[in-house]
Chain A
Amino acid sequence: MRHVRGFDVARPLSIGMLVFMMLPLVFLPLASIFIFGTSNGLGNFWAALTAPEAIFALKLSMATSFWATLFNVLFGLFAAYVLSRYNFLGRNALIVTISLPTAIPTAVAGFALLLLWGPYGTLGRFLRPQGIQIMFTAGAIILANIFVTFPLAFGVIKPVFDTMSRSLEEASATIGATRVQTFWHVTLPSLRGAIVSGALLTFARAVGEFGSTILVSGNLAGRTQTAPLYIFAKFNEGQIEAANAIAIVLALFSFLIFSVLFFARDWLDVD
C-alpha cells in the first residue's frame, strides 16, 4: 500500500467519480421531476396534488399496498418458519417458486391474474354467476401487489431464521414455555428487524407497481386508478405537470421509506 498516510488522492477522486456516475443515471432524472413538477408555480403544483382524483389515487395505492404488505409479511414469516425448520421433499422447489415473481415481467403477472380470475378466466367464470367479480376492483390491485411483492418479505426474513441460534428457543422450552410462548417471546423479537425491513420493502415496491395493475384494475379514475396509473394517464393526456406532482409525492415517499430502513437499522438489528 502506497497511500497509507497523508492525503489520499483516491478518496476524493473515487467519491467524485461515484457521484458523477450517478448524476445522469439517478440524480438528474429525479431532479427533473421536481423541477418540472413545480415549474408552473407552487400554486399549480398544490392544485394538481389536491385534485380529488389525485388524492383518491394516492389513498388507493396506500390502502392496497397496506393489505398486500400485511399479507406478504404474515405469509413470509410463516413460509420462512416452515422452510427453515423442516426439511422435506420439494422444499427447494417451493423456495424457488416463492422467489419466481421477482423475475416475471409484471405485465405477465397481471395477465396471469386476468386469465385466472377474469370474468371469463379459468376460475373467474365460475364466480361470475355468483355475482362475484374480483378483477377490475381494488381486490384485483391487492392480488397483483401480493403477486409481484411475494418474495420480498420472505427473502428478508428467511436468512434470519436460518442463522438464528436455536439454543435460545431450546432454553425457553426447557423452562416450560409452550411453542406459542417461545415463538411470541423469543423467536419473534429477534425477527423484529427483518419484519420491519421486509414490510417496508414490500410496501415501497407495491406502491410503485404499474405493469400488473394497469391490466387488472380497469384504470377508472376515482375508482380503480392507483397513483402510478394516475401518473401514466395524466402523462398520456398531456398534463405533465399533474403527472409530476404525484410523481414527486411517490419519490419523496420512497426516499422516506429507504431513509427509515437505513437509519433504523441499528435499532432494529438487535439480537
Chain B
Amino acid sequence: MSSCLPQPPAESGGINITLYGFSIMKESMEKAIYPGFAAQWKRDHNQDVRFTSSFAGSETITNQILQGVSADVAILSIDRDAMRLKQSGFVTSDWHALPHNGIVNKTPFVILVKQGNPKGIHDFADLAKPGVKVVHPDPVSSGGAQWSILAIYGSELVKSEKQSGEPDRARALQMLQAIWRNVISTPGSAREARTQFETGFGDALVTYELEGMLMKEAGKPVEIVTPQATIFSEHPVVVIDRNVTAAKRPVVDAFIQYLWSDEAQKAFVKFHFYSVTNNAFNEENKAFGHIERPFTIDYFGGWSKAYPEVIEQVFKNQVQKTK
C-alpha cells in the first residue's frame, strides 16, 4: 500500500535528523542552522544530512514526543518540558551537562504594540490599564506564555525589591491579575499569537523580542516596547535518546555540538536571538533593545521552583481562577 502513497524525497545514502522545535525556532533553523550543519558534515564525512522538522508550542511538541513521534532532537522553550521528557524516559542523557547547561540561545520578553503606540504602553504595568486589549499565548500549550507570565510577575518583584529591599509578591500578583483581565485571546503558541496580532487583533502582545524584530523586518506596522525589567528566556536542546539509533548517534551528537559553534551562534544572532557563548556576537545586532534590569529563571530559583511556585501557585490557582 505504501507504494500508492506519496513518498518523501528519496533517502539515498544520507541521514535524516527529525527535529521538533518550539514555534519561533523555525526561521533560524531552516535558513541557517540546517544548511550550515549539513555543509559541515558533508565536508568532514562526505555524507548528506537532511532535516525533517515540525514547529509548534513547546508543550505541544513535548506532548507529541511523549505520544511517540519519532523525534531525534527537540529544542524547547522551557527547561520544564525537557524535564518532562526525562521523567518519562525519553531523554536519558543529561542535557545540563552539555555546554551552557544545554541552553542554545536566549531572548528577552518584550511588549509589541501597534505603530505609533496609540494606547501609550511603556511597560508591563500599562497592560493593566482599562481598555487595553492584550493577546497572550496559552500557558497550557506554549512555553512562551509561561515565560511571559514570569516576565510580568518577576519584573514587579525586581522593581519592588529595588524600591524597598524586599520583593512584594502581593503587588506582583495584583498586576498579573489586572493584566489577565485584559487578555482577549490565548492562542496555542507564540507564533500563533503573533499571527493573530498581525491580523489586527488586540492592542498589545507580550512575546519574545525576536518576534517583534522579525515582524518589523517584514514591514509590519508594529513597535517594540522594552520593559524596564524583564526576563531572558533560555532555550534548551535535548536528544530524544529513546528514538536515536546507534548508527545515528554520531551525527546527532555532532549536530548538538554544532549549535554552540561560532557559526551557529552568529546565525542565531542574525535571526535576533542572543548568543549564549559570546557577548561580542550580540553587539553585532544593533536592533536589540536596552533592558535596564534583566533577570533569568535563576531569579526564581530555576524551573523546578518557578513552575510550581509561579505558574501553578500564582497563575493557575490565583490569577486564572479569579479572572
A contact residues vs B (CB 8 Å cutoff): 56, 59-60, 63-64, 67, 114, 118-120, 124, 133, 135-136, 138-139, 215, 218-223, 233, 235-238, 240
Residue among A60, A114, A135, A219 having the largest count of chain B Cβ atoms under 10 Å: A219
For A60, list chain B residues within 8 Å (CB).
5-6
**Which of these binds chain A: B63-71, B78-86, B106-114?**
B63-71
Contact B26 A135 (CB under 8 A): no
- From known contacts A56-B6, A67-B1, A138-B2, infer whether A220 and B54 are also in contact, taking CB-CB under 8 Å: yes
- Bound: A124/B69 CA distance, A: 13
Output the least CB separation between A6 and chain B (Å).
50
Contact A236 B192 (CB under 8 A): yes
Q: Which chain B residue lies CB-closest to A238?
A: B195
Q: Which chain B residue lies CB-closest to A234?
A: B195
Q: Return the contact of A222 from the options B1, B52, B199 (Cβ within 8 A).
A: B52
- From known contacts A60-B5, A63-B5, infer whether A235 and B195 are also in contact, taking CB-CB under 8 Å: yes
Contact B6 A59 (CB under 8 A): yes
Q: Which chain A residue lies CB-closest to B198?
A: A238
B interface majority secondary structure: mixed
Contact B64 A218 (CB under 8 A): yes
B4 contacts partner chain A, Cβ-Cβ < 8 Å: yes
Contact A240 B70 (CB under 8 A): no
Contact A221 B54 (CB under 8 A): yes
- Bound: A119/B66 CA distance, A: 10
For B1, list chain A residues within 8 Å (CB).
67, 139
Q: Which chain B residue lies CB-closest to A218?
A: B69
Contact A218 B2 (CB under 8 A): no
Proximity string of chain B (1-24) to chain A, C-beta cutoff 8 Å, 1 when within and 0 when not: 110111011000000001000010
B contact residues, total (Cβ < 8 Å): 28
Output the least CB separation between B14 and chain A (Å).
14
Output the least CB separation between B319 and chain A (Å).
26
Proximity string of chain B (42-79) to chain A, C-beta cutoff 8 Å, 1 when within and 0 when not: 00000000001111100000001001111000000000
Q: Which chain B residue lies CB-closest to A55?
A: B6
For B5, list chain A residues within 8 Å (CB).
60, 63-64, 67, 138
Report how many A-B pairs have Cβ atoms within 8 Å.
Answer: 73
Q: Return the contact of A56 from the options B8, B53, B68 (Cβ within 8 A).
A: B8
Instruction: List, sorted by A's number, 23 A–B pairs whose CB atoms are closer than 8 Å.
Output: A63-B5, A67-B4, A118-B67, A118-B68, A120-B67, A120-B68, A133-B68, A133-B70, A136-B68, A138-B2, A219-B56, A219-B64, A220-B52, A220-B54, A220-B69, A221-B53, A223-B8, A236-B188, A236-B195, A237-B23, A238-B191, A238-B195, A238-B198
- From known contacts A67-B1, A238-B198, infer whether A136 and B6 are also in contact, taking CB-CB under 8 Å: no
- Bound: A8/B52 CA distance, A: 63
Contact A218 B9 (CB under 8 A): no
For B26, list chain A residues within 8 Å (CB).
237
Q: Return the contact of B23 from the options A118, A136, A215, A236 (Cβ within 8 A).
A: A236
For A236, list chain B residues within 8 Å (CB).
23, 56, 188-189, 191-192, 195
Output the least CB separation between B194 and chain A (Å).
6
- Bound: A154/B8 CA distance, A: 33
Contact A237 B53 (CB under 8 A): no
Output the least CB separation between B245 and chain A (Å).
12
- Bound: A64/B198 CA distance, A: 34
Residue among A59, A221, A237 having the largest count of chain B Cβ atoms under 10 Å: A237
Output the least CB separation between B65 and chain A (Å).
10
Output the least CB separation between A65 and chain B (Å).
11
- From known contacts A67-B1, A135-B67, infer whether A219 and B54 are also in contact, taking CB-CB under 8 Å: yes
Residue among B5, B53, B195, B199 having the largest count of chain A Cβ atoms under 10 Å: B5
Interface residues of B in 184-202 (CB under 8 A from A): 188-189, 191-192, 194-195, 198-199
For A139, list chain B residues within 8 Å (CB).
1-2
Contact B195 A240 (CB under 8 A): yes
- Bound: A75/B293 CA distance, A: 66
Output the least CB separation between A231 and chain B (Å).
12
Q: Which chain A residue lies CB-closest to B197?
A: A238
Q: Return the contact of A221 from the options B23, B52, B191 (Cβ within 8 A).
A: B52
Output the least CB separation between A138 and chain B (Å).
5
Output the least CB separation between B118 and chain A (Å).
22
For B67, list chain A residues within 8 Å (CB).
114, 118-120, 135, 215
Contact A218 B70 (CB under 8 A): yes
For B4, list chain A residues within 8 Å (CB).
63, 67
Q: Which chain B residue lies CB-closest to A66?
A: B4
Contact A237 B8 (CB under 8 A): no
